[in-house]
Amino acid sequence: MAAARLVRPSMAFKDSYRALVAEFAARGEPFVPFPLGFPHDNFEALLAQLAGCDRGIGIPEGFVPHSTFWLVDDGEVVGVSNLRHRLTDSLRIEGGHIGYGVRPSARGRGHGTRILALTLPEAAKLGIAQALLTCAKANLASGAVIRANGGVFQDEAFLESRGEVVQRWWVPTGAGAGPA
């Protein structure tokens, strides 16, 4: 079996992507990363929306251009990552450069580590040397994924809006040693 690979969203994985979103919804989990919450009944419109976001077209006020990638393993979408092209003051507190989520039925198989590892070079292509990642302190799996990819802990703070402690990590992308 070939290793999971990172792909741009495409019609080829429509049914698998929809099944992934349905798994999140069935478990009552938040759509992380946030593009999982985009409407997908009209799949061509979803693909156009994601392509627009990548170019900074049609994004809401206060948002930055962002690219979405799918991790495909054995023909199935098992994870989604979202790469913010730059940071805002808000993203420096929560969100960071990269958000990712793994299909609930595919967790515990290294897909989180793999999707982050494959998204980091995409950040490097944008000139981001160190990617900021944030996660809930209670999300031990995400913390382990970040550490496995070379993450260096910066700090943590209680975010009243979430009602939990959020940690911030810096992860090298391979683009060089400068700040993001």
Query: pLDDT (tens digit, 9 = 90+) per residue, 2-23?
Result: 689 999 999 999 999 999 999 9
Q: Smallest Cα–Cα separation from 20: which of 85, 98, 97, 105?
A: 105
Query: Mutual orientation of helices 140-148 and 111-125 as an angle, nearest 10°?
Result: 50
Which of the following CATH numbers is that of domain 5-128: 3.40.630.30, 3.40.50.410, 3.10.290.20, 3.40.50.12280?
3.40.630.30
Q: Smallest Cα–Cα separation from 123: which of 133, 138, 134?
A: 133
Say what the pLDDT of residue 179 is.
Answer: 47
Q: Are 82 and 71 in contact (CB under 8 A)?
A: no
Say what the pLDDT of residue 52 is.
Answer: 97
Strand partners, 170: 132, 152
pLDDT, tens only, 39-81: 999 999 999 999 999 999 999 898 999 999 999 999 999 999 9
pLDDT, tens only, 74-128: 999 999 999 999 999 999 999 999 999 999 999 999 999 999 999 999 999 999 9
Give the global pTM: 0.94
User: Which strands make up the sheet holding 152-159, listed edge to edge?
Assistant: 130-136, 164-172, 152-159
